[in-house]
């Protein structure tokens, strides 16, 4: 295996994070407590727009969880996703987006992505909703995914949810915002636009807690349900049980909940990282600009889509196969052999055995845009502390491989 000269990602960790973690270790309280509460407050503040009050928006309630996946399960469960109904999402996402619905017993309807972006296509969503309305309103939620930090057409998606809801059946919008912090559009921050937004703080994300996530909503009823379900269906939080005068064992179980809380040991990282989220964005943006300037001169590379509020979590470089004698797979292997850490986002879900067996019509032929994007995309290194020299090495390597294998 080649020596890694430029890693795919490296978390931006400073002495502030080290000190925060040590503070937790020395405090004697390692699980969910004051740091998790502080992280929730900071994250809500980071998503709050100056015109929220003017536009009559309710305050954002943030709940720290141990992963985006856990948050998606909480969000779907609170929005009534269960056996007998369904969610709509994209095949171009990490498998957990769809798997969460299956954990709750629901079906998944997939809508292809747009031709010129990685975002779910509202026209395809409406095709599904029209059929669903004729068959008794099985769709409970639409789950758009903001791939690479590029925000979906939320205005159209919200309008569709409202159009196809009935007095007896509300269709919720749950944003998979794993990639999007701190994306901001004219509608507000991605992840705080729909009914619920779910973020990820996995180690490669725009901010990190190593593992972790956040569920955000402006709906107090949804927040109340998710709070209870986050911790065993208990009517009291762990922090309250052990810090209030009331005995810790005086609690009730009011639902069959989960164990999805974020411990302070990880939340301490988040408290530091959220303060630097905008700085991280600016650092990534400089690398993106360098990439775009160089790759725009190459006729075998197509630049990533760039929409309003793009967080630039990932740089999805797209090759143009018609200009090359090698495939995406071969191009990617040559990059790895040259010492570059790369990935592919994403393998469409219809390529996986479980989903192929579950839905026989769920094939590449029926989702041509997702398949086409997959066959052309390579995710290249992009992280806040990336040096100019490292970015130049990526550019030089891509250029050399392409030029040596042009038609």
- The Cα 227–Cα 230 span in angstroms is 5
Give the chain's radius of gyration (CA, Å): 22
Of the candidates 79, 102, 322, which has an alpha carbon nearest to the alpha carbon of residue 196? 79
Whole-angstrom CA distances from 164 to 130, 138, 193, 215 are 8, 11, 18, 25
Q: Which residues are known catalytic residues?
A: 205
Alpha-helical (H) ranges within 165-256 are: 220-230, 238-243
Token pair of 217, please?
């909503």
Residues near 258 by beta carbon (within 8 Å), at least 6 away in sequence? 70, 73, 74, 229, 230, 231, 232
User: What is the arrangement of strands in the sheet containing 301-302, beginning at the earlier edge strand?
Assistant: 301-302, 315-319, 377-380
Looking up tokens 């912090």, which residue turns up?
181
- The Cα 318–Cα 369 span in angstroms is 13
Residues near 122 by beta carbon (within 8 Å), at least 6 away in sequence? 153, 156, 157, 160
């Amino acid at each position: 295996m080649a020596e890694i000269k430029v890693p795919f990602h490296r978390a931006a960790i400073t002495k502030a994070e080290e000190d925060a973690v040590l503070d937790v270790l020395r405090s004697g309280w390692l699980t969910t407590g004051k740091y998790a509460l502080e992280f929730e407050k900071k994250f809500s503040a980071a998503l709050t727009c100056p015109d929220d009050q003017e536009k009559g928006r309710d305050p954002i309630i943030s709940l720290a969880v141990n992963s985006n996946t856990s948050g998606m399960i909480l969000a779907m469960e609170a929005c009534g996703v269960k056996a007998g109904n369904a969610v709509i999402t994209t095949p171009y996402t990490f498998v957990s987006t769809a798997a969460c619905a299956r954990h709750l017993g629901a079906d998944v309807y997939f809508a292809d992505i747009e031709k010129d972006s990685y975002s779910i296509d509202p026209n395809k969503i409406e095709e599904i909703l029209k059929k669903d309305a004729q068959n008794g309103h099985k769709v409970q939620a639409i789950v758009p995914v903001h791939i690479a930090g590029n925000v979906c057409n939320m205005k159209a998606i919200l309008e569709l949810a409202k159009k196809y809801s009935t007095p007896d059946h509300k269709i919720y919008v749950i944003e998979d915002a794993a990639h999007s912090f701190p994306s901001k559009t004219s509608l507000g921050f991605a992840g705080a636009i729909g009914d619920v937004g779910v973020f990820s703080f996995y180690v490669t994300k725009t901010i990190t807690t190593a593992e972790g996530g956040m569920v955000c909503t402006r709906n107090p009823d949804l927040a109340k349900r998710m709070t209870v379900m986050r911790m065993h269906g208990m009517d009291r939080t762990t922090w309250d049980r052990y810090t209030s005068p009331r005995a810790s064992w005086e609690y009730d179980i009011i639902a069959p909940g989960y164990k999805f809380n974020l411990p302070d040991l990880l939340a301490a990282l988040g408290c530091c990282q959220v303060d630097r989220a905008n700085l991280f964005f600016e650092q990534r943006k400089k690398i993106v600009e360098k990439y775009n300037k160089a790759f725009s001169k190459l006729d075998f590379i197509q630049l990533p889509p760039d929409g309003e509020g793009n967080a630039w979590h990932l740089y999805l470089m797209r090759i143009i196969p018609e200009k090359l004698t090698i495939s995406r797979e071969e191009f990617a292997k040559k990059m790895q052999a040259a010492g570059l850490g790369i990935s592919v986002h994403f393998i469409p879900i219809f390529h996986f055995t479980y989903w192929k067996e579950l839905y026989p019509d769920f094939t590449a032929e029926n989702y041509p845009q997702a398949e086409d994007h997959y066959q052309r995309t390579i995710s290249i290194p992009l992280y806040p502390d990336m040096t100019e020299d490292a970015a130049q090495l990526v550019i030089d390597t891509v250029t050399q491989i392409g030029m040596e294998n042009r038609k």
